[in-house]
Structure 1
Amino acid sequence: MAKKWANKVKKWMTNKMELPADVMMDFPRVTVVGQFHVYIENHKGLLVFKDNELRLLLKQGQLLIKGSAFVIKTILPEEILLEGKIDEVIYINE
């Protein structure tokens, strides 16, 4: 019950105070630069890293990035910068 109420308050604050939803609601922010860089903020952890696949845990679901020649340029607790040829960015809601 408290979690539902907290979410309602967050949504209300986001709308009324014009605050960014990604900050208030723990949504990930994904910035794709061309076809060669992806910067993801507000993830909850790295699940899979291969030269052609990156999978991140989100608060709700996962983020899957497919491509080739992947290199992690920066990795911090809630941020990651991926470089390589980006073919797909897929949100998985599980």
Structure 2
Amino acid sequence: MAKKWANSLRKWMALKMELPTDVAMDLPRVTMVGQLHIYIENHKGLLVFTDTELRLLLKQGQLLVKGKSFVIKTILPEEILLEGKIEEVHYLNE
């Protein structure tokens, strides 16, 4: 119950303070450029990386990216830029 109340409070504060929802709610921001690049901000860590799969830990669940010829162009504590042929992007609620 406290978690639901805290989320409601964050949403209300974001609205009143005119903050972006992703910042106030600690949500990931995913930006894709066609099927060539994907830029993910506000993740909680890299779980799996191969040339066909990227899996990131999020505050709630995971983000799975599948494709071909993946190369990590930039990796920072909460940001990652992936290049390759992106075929699928899935949110996993685990």
CA distance in 1, matches of 2:64, 2:86: 11
What TM-score do you get using the length of structure 1 for normalisation?
0.92
- Which runs of structure 2 are paired with 1:36-51 in the superposition (5 Å)? 36-51=36-51
SS in 2 for 1:74: strand
What per-residue deviation string (whole Å, max 9, x for no partner) do you get for residues 1-24 of structure 1? 654443222111122333211000
Counterpart check, 1:34 vs 2:24: no
Deviates more, 1:2-11 or 1:72-81: 2-11
Q: Which runs of 5+ in 2 are unaligned?
A: none
What per-residue deviation string (whole Å, max 9, x for no partner) do you get for residues 29-78 of structure 1? 00000111000000000000000000000000000000000000000000
Q: Which runs of 5+ in 1 are unaligned?
A: none
What TM-score do you get using the length of structure 2 for normalisation?
0.92
CA distance in 1, matches of 2:57, 2:48: 9
Identity of aligned residues (%): 80
Per the alignment, residue 83 of structure 1 pairs with 83
